[in-house]
Amino acid sequence: MTAHHRFDDISIEDLVAQGSMKWTRNEGHLAAFVAEMDFGTAPAVSEALHTAIDHAQLGYLPPAVKTDMSQATSDYLTSHYDWKVAPGQIYPTADVLSAYTVVLETLSRPGAPVILPTPAYMPFLTLTPARGREVIQVPMIEGENGRLEMDLVSIAQGFEQGAEMFILCNPHNPLGRVYSREELEALAAVVDAHQGLVFSDEIHAPLTFPGHRHIPYASLSETTAHHTITATSASKAFNIPGLKCAQLIVSSPQHHETLEKVAFMVSHGAATPGVMANTAAYQSGGPWLEDVLSYIDTNRTLLADLLEKHLPQMGYRAPEGTYIAWLDATGLPPVAGDRSWAQFFSDEARVALTDGALCGEAGVGHLRLMLATPSHILEKIVIAMADAVANAQS
Ligand SMILES: Cc1ncc(COP(=O)(O)O)c(C=O)c1O
Mutate to test the pocket of ligand 1, among 177, 178, 201 (most ligand atoms within 8 A of CB): 201
- Which atom of ligand 1 lies at the shortest distance from residue 34's CA? 14
Sign of CA dihedral 29, 30, 36, 42: positive
Question: Average pLDDT of 373-382?
Answer: 98
Q: How many CA within 13 A on the CB side of residue 57?
A: 20
Residue-wise pLDDT tens digits, 185-222: 999 999 999 999 999 999 999 999 999 999 999 999 99
Cα gap 140→146, rounded to integer Å: 11
Q: Which among 299, 325, 298 is positioned nearest to 314, based on CA atoms?
A: 325
- The answer to whether 93 and 102 are in contact (CB under 8 A) is yes
Cα gap 200→202, rounded to integer Å: 6
**pLDDT of the residue at 144:** 79
Residue-wise pLDDT tens digits, 119-159: 999 999 999 999 999 999 999 999 978 999 999 999 999 99
Mutate to test the pocket of ligand 1, among 102, 229, 236 (most ligand atoms within 8 A of CB): 236
Phi, psi (rounded to 5 degrees) for 235: -65, -35
Q: What is the mean pLDDT of the chain?
A: 97
Question: Average pLDDT of 329-350?
Answer: 96
Question: Average pLDDT of 280-297?
Answer: 98
Q: Which residues pair with 337 in a beta bridge?
A: none
Residue 1: pLDDT band with limits 50, 70, 90? low
Cα gap 349→7, rounded to integer Å: 24
Phi, psi (rounded to 5 degrees) for 67: -65, -40
Cα gap 304→298, rounded to integer Å: 10
Task: Name the residue with the closest Cα to ligand 1, atom 14.
Answer: 35
pTM, two decimals, is 0.98
User: Which is it for strands 90-93 and 246-250: parallel, antiparallel or unpaired?
Assistant: antiparallel
> 3-state class of 229 per DSSP?
strand
Q: Which domains does the chain have, with CATH numbers?
A: 6-41+286-393 (3.90.1150.10), 44-284 (3.40.640.10)
Find out whether the beta carbon of 99 lies less than 6 Å from any atom of ligand 1: no
* DSSP labels, 122-150: THHHHHHHHTT--EEEEE-EE-GGG-EE-
* DSSP state, residue 80: H
Find out whether the beta carbon of 96 lies less than 6 Å from any atom of ligand 1: yes
Find out whether the beta carbon of 202 lies less than 6 Å from any atom of ligand 1: no
Find out whether the beta carbon of 45 lies less than 6 Å from any atom of ligand 1: no
* pLDDT reading at 261 higher than 70: yes
Question: Average pLDDT of 161-170?
Answer: 98
Question: Average pLDDT of 247-262?
Answer: 96
Find out whether the beta carbon of 320 lies less than 6 Å from any atom of ligand 1: no
> Quick one: what percent of the chain has pLDDT higher than 70?
100
Find out whether the beta carbon of 196 lies less than 6 Å from any atom of ligand 1: no
Secondary structure of 283-314 in the HEC alphabet? HHCHHHHHHHHHHHHHHHHHHHHHHHHHCCCC
H or E element at residue 79? helix 63-81
- Which atom of ligand 1 lies at the shortest distance from residue 99's CA? 11
Residue-wise pLDDT tens digits, 20-75: 999 999 999 999 999 999 999 999 999 999 999 999 999 999 999 999 999 999 99
Cα gap 339→221, rounded to integer Å: 47
